[in-house]
Amino acid sequence: MTRRELFKMIGMAAGGAAMYQAMSTLGYAAESPFKGPIDLSGAPKGASVLILGSGVAGMTAAYELRNAGYKVQILEYNNRPGGRNWSIRGGDSYTELGGYTQHCEFDKGLYINPGPWRIPYHHRGLLHYCKILGVPIEAFFQINYNAYLHSSKAFGGKPQRYREIKADYQGHVAELLSKATRQHSLDDAISKEDAEKLLESLRSWGALDKDFKYGKNLTSSERRGYEKDPGGGLTAVPIPSQPMGLSDVLDSGLWQGIPSGDNYDMQTALFQPVGGMGRIGEAFGRELGSVIRYNSKVTKIEQSERGVTATYVDTATGATHSASADWCLCTIPLPVLAQIPMNVGQKMAAAISAVPYASAIKVGLQFKRRFWEEDDHIYGGISYTDLPITNIGYPNCDYHSPGKGVLLGAYIWGLNAMEFTAMTPPERVMKAVEYGSQIHPQYKQEFDNGVAVAWHRSPFTMGCYGMWSSDARAKHYEDLCRIDGRIALAGEHASYLGGWQEGGVTSALDAIGRIHQRAVAQGSKA
């Protein structure tokens, strides 16, 4: 079970407050601790740091250490910067474990983010680096009232607009509560004065009529939409729409999708870099330049009292090399790091092996036209479904663009992700088209091409992100984050912001701050 599935079940059973408490306890709802640029003044002359991995954590550390005067080198497995901060565009190729290579055929300017795709407003660290690196950002829409909530088991499998489900659920609940209030069923809980205020608030919240009923009228249609919209001239008069019955709404289960934008990490404002999430990694890469050595597969990490040496293979030539420094910051994802010989203490070694990684798959689909805008009037946001594809994400940019368009055709988790991982990439793409056509019938006629990234088959991560259990975090988290000799770890797995880039930023700043303190202390003794 993924953390998202767990939190969703808690929220359904016990409410949002209980879900947030569970998220906080497991370390998935904490606010970013970023307070501004780190102070690394007084760096010892000639001190050096070797960084393994040029993801967001590694490049954040390199940027700050270099600017503070440290000699810095990054070894990066891929031939590009960014790690999971990655956008796939037309002309790109990607080879997964098992040897299958995909060649992206998207049109120019179109892309899919196989990794992170949104930045909450309170992830101040990542936004800080977007600003200083000159990466423009634009709005990301988590909630679109005109997108769909879909259950294959309800309403004959026909998708329903988010606004309809939300309006009808709220309306029926407000009517029931107003009835209980007027029948004095709540006398033990609230005063007479508060009861009157509650009734008025319920009338407003649920779009109830003067008799506190929820039904077919202009008031409810202002929330759920009209059968015939208001217009101009002789055809201007609107026709109210007929709400769904309470039993239909409850039986459908679609009410589960209503709070999808209420979670702390999903609340507006959310952002995305213009042109794809990978623009952040690319900007860091340009800034750091020759600091990063690409196509470098680390095969061994050794430390002594004097420093750290990493052995690596140049994947372009097959030649073996080594790089050394006084200190090492390792940001390699834990499933990969666990397979690399490294002489650290038993506690850090146990912590590295204690954290499994989530399975996840994203499928990007290019279509011959932007039918979701032209036919369904959906501009950005997400549609949710009980089908294995989980959701469909619509591009939050370039509205009304002529020609082709790319949407996120699947974001799959848990057991469904494991099933999709066992397929070839073309099979994953076609399966996403098959499922998606139950929501958008235009899929099969308009489909052009697609790509599919299964994170457990990613050679540089072997999973999507670290999945801490409460027991594992209590037992191993501090051991993972403590400096072992001259080696420190950083990344989203070394944070309480698991699965978010902000976790990588803040863990990197914390780790290099502690490395700096030790370097200064040792430098003063020398």
Q: Say whether both 349 and 492 belong to one domain.
A: yes
Instruction: Report the range of poorest mean pLDDT among 151-160, 172-181, 184-193, 304-313.
Output: 184-193
CATH at 121: 3.90.660.10
| Range(s) of the domain holding residue 335 | 31-77+295-355+468-525
Segment (H or E) for 350 = helix 346-352
Domain of residue 212, CATH code = 1.20.1440.240
Determine the pLDDT at residue 167.
96
Where among 435, 457, 479 does a domain terminate? 457
Q: How confident is the model at residue 24 (pLDDT cuts 50, 70, 90)?
A: very low
Same structural domain, 378 and 450? yes
On whether residue 516 sits in a domain, the answer given is yes
- The verdict on 453 and 477 lying in the same domain is no
Q: Are residues 349 and 490 in the same domain?
A: yes
- The answer, yes or no, to whether residue 28 has pLDDT greater than 70, is no
**Residue range 159-182: mean pLDDT, rounded:** 95
Q: What pLDDT score does 33 carry? A: 85
Same domain, 379 and 420: yes
174-191 confidence digits (pLDDT tens) = 999 999 999 988 888 889
Residue 349 and residue 472 in one domain: yes
In this predicted structure, which of 185-189, 282-286, 292-296, 397-401 has the lowest mean pLDDT? 185-189
Shared domain for 351 and 299, answered yes or no, is yes
Q: How do residues 431-470 score in pLDDT, each as one tens digit?
A: 999 999 999 999 999 999 999 999 999 999 999 999 999 9
User: How many other CB atoms are there within 10 angstroms of residue 199's CB atom?
Assistant: 17
Quick one: CA torsion of 27, 30, 36, 40, rounded to 10 degrees? -20
Residues 347 and 474 in one domain: yes
236 lies in a domain?
yes
The pLDDT value given to residue 22: 52
pLDDT at 257: 93
Residue 100 lies in a domain: yes
**Last residue in a domain, options 402, 423, 457:** 457
Q: How many structural domains compose the chain? A: 3
- CATH number, position 519: 3.50.50.60
Q: No. of H helices and E strands in the chain?
A: 17, 22
Which DSSP helix (H) or strand (E) runs through 95? strand 93-95
pTM of the model: 0.91
Residue 61 and residue 99: Cα distance in Å, rounded? Answer: 32
For the ranges 63-67, 234-238, 444-448, the lowest mean pLDDT is seen at 234-238
Domain check: are 226 and 175 in the same one? yes
316: tokens are: 């372009």
